[in-house]
Structure 1
Amino acid sequence: MLAALHEDSDANEMRLSGENLQRARHRFALQQASRACTHLSQRQASNDPQYREVMLVCCLLFVISELLLGRYDNAFQHLHSGLRVLKETQHYHSTISLDESLVHIFGRLDIESAHFGLGTPFLFTHFGTDDDVHTLDNFSIMRNVPDVHRRVTFLLNMGIPFLARCWPLSAVEVAAEYDELFQRQQQLLSLNYQFQHDFGIFCRDFSHNLCGREQQAIDVLQLQSLGQILSLKTCLIKGSVPASLKPEYVALFSAHQEFLAKCSDRPTLTLDYGVLPGLWVVASQCPDYSIRLQAIHTLQTWPHCEGIINSNLIVSMALKKLKEELRTHGHPYSSIIDADMEEKLSRFLLDTLMSSQQSTNWSFIRGVDLLQRHSRVSA
Structure 2
Amino acid sequence: MNPRRKRQQHGSRSRTGCRTCRARRVKCDETPGKCGNCTSTGRPCEGYEVYRLPLPGGPKTKRGGGPPLTPAAASRFRWVVTSDERRCFAFFCDRTIRDAVAFYDSARWPRMVLDMANTDPAVCHAVIALGAAHQETVFGGMQSQLALTAQRTSWHWVATEQLARAFGLLRRRNPHDPQLREVMVLCCLLFVLTSLIRRDYDSVIRHLRSGLRIVKELEARISPTLVAVFRHLETQAIHFGLGDHLHEPNYMRLPANLWPPTQPIDQSPDALEPLHHGVLHFMLRGWGSSAEIIAAHYEALHAEQTALLSKVTQTQASFAGVRAMHYRTLSFKEQRGADITELLLQTHSLGLRTCLLKNDPARLEPFTPEYAALVTMAERVITKFPEKPSLLDFTVRWRALQALRSWPHNEGAFDSLVVSTVLWERFQIELKVRVATDLRSLLGSDVGPEEFDTMVNRQVEDQLRFITGNEDRELAQAGAYLSHAIDSDHSMKSWTCVGRLLNLKA
Q: Report the TM-score range of the alignment, normalised by the length of the smaller protein.
A: 0.7 to 0.9
Q: Relative to structure 1, is the Cα distance of residues 243 and 309 closer, same or farther in structure 2, using a 3 angstrom cutoff?
A: same
| Long gaps (5+) in structure 2 | 1-128, 436-455
Partner in structure 2 of residue 355 of structure 1: 488
Q: Call closer, same or farther: CA 1:352–1:15 in 2, change over 3 Å.
A: farther
d(CA) in 1 for partners of 2:414, 2:251? 26
Pairing 1:301-316 to 2, within 5 Å after superposition: 301-316=406-421
* Contact in 2 for aligned 1:62/1:78 (Cα 8 Å): yes
- Which among 364, 373, 396 is matched to residue 291 of structure 1? 396
Cα root mean square deviation, aligned = 2.6
Q: Structure 1: which 5+ residue stretches go unaligned?
A: 268-283
Quote how far apart the aligned CAs of 1:205 are: 2.9
Matches of residues 14-33 of structure 1 in structure 2 within 5 Å? 16=145, 23-33=153-163
Would the aligned equivalents of 1:121 and 1:161 in 2 still touch at CA under 8 Å?
no
Partner of 1:66: 195
Aligned to 2:182: 53
Residues in 2 aligned to 1:313 and 1:319: alpha-carbon distance in whole angstroms = 10
Residues 138-194 of structure 1 show CA distances to partners (whole Å, capped at 9, x for unaligned) of 742244223433343231021111112221111111111111111111111100100
TM-score, scaled to structure 1? 0.83
The question of whether the paired residues in 1 share the 8 Å contact of 2:132 and 2:159 is answered with yes
Match runs of 1:111-126 below 5 Å: 111-117=235-241, 121-126=243-248
**Which of 232, 237, 262 in structure 1 is aligned with 2:352?**
232
Cα distance in 2 between the residues matched to 1:246 and 1:321: 17
CA distance in 2, matches of 1:244, 1:22: 47
Q: After TM superposition, list the pairs within 5 Å mapping 1:30-179 onto structure 2.
A: 30-42=160-172, 44-45=173-174, 47-90=176-219, 94=220, 96=221, 98-117=222-241, 121-131=243-253, 133-134=254-255, 139-179=259-299
What is the one-letter code of the residue matched to 1:3?
Answer: G
Mapped partners of 1:101, 1:14: distance in 2: 32
Partner of 2:371: 249
Aligned pairs, number: 346
CA separation of 1:162 and 1:138: change in aligned 2, threshold 3 A: closer
**Shift in alpha-carbon separation, 1:206–1:219, aligned structure 2, 3 A:** same
Offset of 1:111 from its aligned partner?
2.3
Decide whether aligned partners of structure 1 residues 63 and 148 sit closer, same or farther in structure 2, where only a CA change above 3 A counts.
closer
Cα distance in 1 between the residues matched to 2:318 and 2:257: 12
- Equivalent residue in structure 2 for 1:344, among 444, 460, 477: 477
The answer to whether the 8 A contact 2:258-2:315 is kept is no
Code of the aligned partner of 2:376: S
> Bigger CA drift: 17-26 or 240-249?
17-26
Moved more, 21-30 or 163-172: 21-30
The reply to whether residue 209 of structure 1 matches residue 329 of structure 2 is yes
Distance 1:211 1:88 in 2: 37
Q: Which protein is bigger by CA-based radius of gyration?
A: 2
Give the aligned partner of residue 502 of structure 2.
Answer: 369
Deviations 1:191-242 (A, max 9, x none): 0100121123213433333232221211111111111111111100112452
**Residues 116 and 78 from structure 1, CA distance in 2 versus in 1: closer, same or farther, beyond 3 angstroms?**
same
User: Cα 1:61–1:14, aligned 2, differ >3 Å: closer, same or farther?
Assistant: farther
Deviation at 1:368, TM superposition (A): 6.0
Q: Does 1:300 align with 2:405?
A: yes
1:311 & 1:204 partners in 2: Cα distance? 29
Q: Scaled by the length of structure 2, what TM-score is found?
A: 0.63
C-alpha contact (below 8 Å) 2:239/2:495 kept by paired residues: yes
Q: Does 1:318 align with 2:423?
A: yes
Conserved? CA contact 1:167–1:236, under 8 Å = yes
Structure with greater contact order relative to length (CA < 8 Å, sep ≥ 6): 1
Residues 243-287 of structure 1 deviation map (CA, whole Å, 9 limit, x = unaligned) = 2112211211111111111121456xxxxxxxxxxxxxxxx22x2
| Aligned equivalent of 2:432, options 324, 327, 330 | 327
